[in-house]
């Protein structure tokens, strides 16, 4: 079995919609179920296995009596906290809810949830005989404790565990409330700059990882923590490969998310276009009916209009007024739906922008890790090539004539043949800025080249390879026994 890892992802939202709440709580009508589960990702025969954790760490069935938006309003009202989006109900500007998705490797989560019971993932097949293991509840309560410790139990809106999809996972929704009682995602989760945001995010992942150790889930790989101490080159290279694989999986997930969001955007745009056409047609119908009513009104006001015709006009007037009322009701309904559709489209476009930015960041991290892997491989190949040359020269030199051998006197190749490891070791110490230690090392190995000087160090603009060449040249001088001259 491959290494089992935790999965923690969070996203800030400008409020929480009823549609999102219905998704978390599985609160749909039959028609809603058909629409929401068109791709068959949810197994309705396992919906009863879902549960939520509420105040005090209590496990209970998912409560659908109040939606998550209602819970949000109840929560902040009871605590006297202002909703910063209250003045912008149709165009919210502030991120007031953070949605966490907490999961892990499929095998481990399914074992905790179902034990040895086998799930049939074929769409439409019933798994109604499957029962929930208490182990998944204990794991969820541990995750609940981490959220409580980091953000405060009073700020948890909803903590729902889904066992009806392919892999068990948690949706935890919190309100980012500052110590002074204000809602601010930036202050609670981000900090003053991107470096502090990254530090807080890594610390959060570490907090989950510490608890997940006992469940057999280790922290996911991160490029930010690859430079650990006491790693061999091979271990570091292997870690970089693992990180690239993890990042590539995340990129794949982001690509799938973007594809799904773009499809939703295209559907939203079609809906907006359709609503626009309906509103245009209704507006024309309204204008036509109002014009007909005006004509009838003028005819009724005309004293020359016969009595029989007046009765007919009055009946027409009543019919048209009912028709106009119906048109106005439909027009108002379509305008509300258009407003909502435009808002949803804006939210989707914002989410696409954020997801694309995250994907681009991941691609940059993959590129960086791949470059480090290439550099490590090149260094290893260069090292092997160097020692191959030195060893071959060492084997060939005794058979050279005295005249030919003299050509190599004082050369770097000859120095590497006689004291190559010492030159490299001294250069490595110099490259780390440890001048006194390098000098002592050279002297202990018989070198008489002296101290490199107080101004020794790497120029900020100096190329890394050029700096290492300079360290090697200085090391060679320091390792040279006194009285000998170098041949350049």
Q: What is the DSSP string of 240-262?
A: HHHHHHHHHHHHHHHHHHHHHHH
Lowest mean pLDDT segment, chosen from 23-32, 59-68, 366-375: 366-375
Average of per-residue pLDDT values in the chain: 84
pLDDT tens for 154-188 read 999 999 999 999 889 999 999 999 999 999 999 99
pLDDT of residue 482: 63
- Contact present, 161 and 136 (Cβ < 8 Å): yes
Element (H, E) at 157: strand 156-162
Enumerate residues 6+ apart whose C-beta is below 8 A from 322: none
Sign of CA dihedral 284, 287, 289, 291: negative
pLDDT of residue 361: 77
pLDDT band at 242 (very low <50, low <70, confident <90, very high): low
Query: Has residue 95 got a pLDDT over 80?
Result: yes
Query: Taking residues 131-149, what's their average pLDDT?
Result: 96
Residue among 431, 455, 429, 457 nearest 443 (CA)? 429
Beta bridge partners of 173: 99, 158
Query: Taking residues 283-287, what's their average pLDDT?
Result: 93
Provide the percentage of residues in the chain whose pLDDT is more than 70. Answer: 89
> How far is residue 232's CA from residue 238's CA, in Å, rounded to a whole number?
10
pLDDT band at 431 (very low <50, low <70, confident <90, very high): confident
pLDDT tens for 450-465 read 677 767 888 888 887 8
**The 3-state secondary structure of 159-199, one letter per residue:** EEEECCCCCCEEEEEECCECCCCCECHHHHHHCCCHHHHHH
Lowest mean pLDDT segment, chosen from 29-38, 157-166, 202-211: 29-38
Query: Taking residues 53-64, what's their average pLDDT?
Result: 95
Q: How is residue 32 annotated by DSSP? A: H
- Contact present, 244 and 369 (Cβ < 8 Å): yes
pLDDT band at 245 (very low <50, low <70, confident <90, very high): low
pLDDT band at 227 (very low <50, low <70, confident <90, very high): very low
Query: Taking residues 231-253, what's their average pLDDT?
Result: 62
Does residue 17 or residue 71 have the better pLDDT?
Answer: 71
pLDDT tens for 351-400 read 888 878 877 877 887 777 777 766 766 766 776 777 777 778 777 877 88
Query: Has residue 213 got a pLDDT over 50?
Result: yes
Query: Taking residues 220-244, what's their average pLDDT?
Result: 50
> How far is residue 350's CA from residue 81's CA, in Å, rounded to a whole number?
26
pLDDT band at 336 (very low <50, low <70, confident <90, very high): very high
pLDDT of residue 380: 65
Q: Could you give the 3-state DSSP secondary structure of residue 69?
A: helix
Give the C-alpha distances (Å, rounded to integers) separating 14 from 94, 107, 158, 275, 346. Answer: 5, 34, 16, 25, 11
Residue whose entry in the numeric block shows the structure tokens 């949706």 = 171
Q: Could you give the 3-state DSSP secondary structure of residue 443?
A: helix
- The alpha carbon of residue 344 and the mean position of all alpha carbons in its chain are separated, in whole angstroms, by 21
> How far is residue 359's CA from residue 144's CA, in Å, rounded to a whole number?
28
Residue among 223, 256, 217 nearest 241 (CA)? 223
**Both tokens of residue 11?**
């996203």
Query: Taking residues 249-254, what's their average pLDDT?
Result: 73
Query: Taking residues 131-154, what's their average pLDDT?
Result: 96
**Both tokens of residue 228?**
């650990």
pLDDT of residue 223: 39
Alpha helices by DSSP H, 175-306? 185, 194-212, 233-301
The two most distant CA atoms of the chain are separated, in Å, by 139
pLDDT of residue 112: 96
Does residue 275 or residue 221 have the better pLDDT?
Answer: 275
């Amino acid at each position: 079995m491959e290494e089992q890892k935790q999965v923690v992802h969070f996203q800030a939202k400008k409020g929480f919609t009823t549609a999102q709440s219905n998704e978390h709580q599985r609160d749909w009508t039959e028609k809603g179920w058909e629409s929401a589960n068109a791709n068959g990702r949810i197994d309705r025969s396992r919906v009863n296995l879902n549960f939520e954790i509420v105040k005090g760490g209590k496990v209970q069935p998912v409560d659908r009596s109040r939606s998550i938006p209602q819970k949000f309003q109840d929560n902040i009202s009871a605590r006297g906290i202002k909703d910063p989006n209250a003045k912008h109900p149709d165009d919210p500007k502030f991120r007031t809810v953070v949605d966490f998705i907490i999961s892990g490797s499929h095998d481990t989560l399914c074992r905790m949830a179902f034990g040895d019971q086998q799930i049939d993932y074929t769409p439409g097949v019933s798994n109604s005989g499957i029962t929930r293991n208490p182990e998944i509840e204990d794991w969820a309560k541990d995750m609940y404790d981490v959220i409580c410790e980091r953000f405060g139990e009073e700020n948890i809106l909803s903590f729902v565990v889904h066992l009806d999809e392919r892999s068990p996972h948690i949706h935890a929704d919190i309100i980012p409330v500052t110590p002074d009682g204000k809602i601010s995602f930036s202050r609670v989760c981000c900090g003053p700059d991107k470096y502090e945001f990254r530090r807080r995010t890594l610390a959060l992942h570490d907090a989950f990882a510490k608890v997940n150790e006992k469940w057999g889930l280790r922290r996911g790989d991160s490029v930010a923590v690859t430079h650990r101490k006491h790693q061999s080159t091979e271990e570091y290279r292997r870690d970089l490969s693992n990180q690239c694989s993890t990042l590539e999986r995340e990129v794949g997930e982001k690509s799938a998310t973007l594809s799904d969001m773009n499809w939703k955007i295209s559907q939203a745009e079609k809906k907006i276009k359709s609503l626009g056409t309906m509103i245009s047609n209704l507006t024309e119908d309204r204008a036509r009916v109002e014009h007909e009513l005006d004509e009838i009104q003028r005819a009724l006001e005309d004293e020359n209009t016969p009595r029989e015709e007046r009765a007919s006009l009055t009946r027409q007037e009543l019919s048209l007024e009912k028709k106009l009322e119906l048109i106005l009701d439909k027009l108002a309904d379509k305008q509300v739906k258009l407003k909502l559709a435009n808002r949803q489209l804006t939210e989707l476009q914002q989410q696409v922008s954020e997801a694309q930015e995250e994907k681009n960041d991941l691609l940059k991290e993959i590129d960086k890790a791949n470059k480090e892997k290439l550099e490590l491989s090149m260094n290893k190949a260069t090292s092997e090539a160097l020692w191959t040359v030195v060893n071959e020269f060492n084997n060939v030199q005794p058979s050279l004539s005295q005249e030919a051998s003299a050509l190599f006197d004082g050369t770097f190749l000859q120095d590497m043949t006689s004291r190559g490891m010492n030159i490299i070791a001294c250069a490595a110490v110099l490259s780390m800025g440890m001048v006194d230690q390098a000098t002592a090392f050279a002297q202990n190995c018989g070198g008489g080249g002296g101290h490199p000087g107080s101004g020794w160090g790497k120029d900020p603009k100096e190329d890394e390879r050029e700096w290492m060449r300079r360290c090697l040249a200085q090391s060679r001088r320091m390792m040279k026994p006194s009285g000998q001259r170098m041949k350049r």
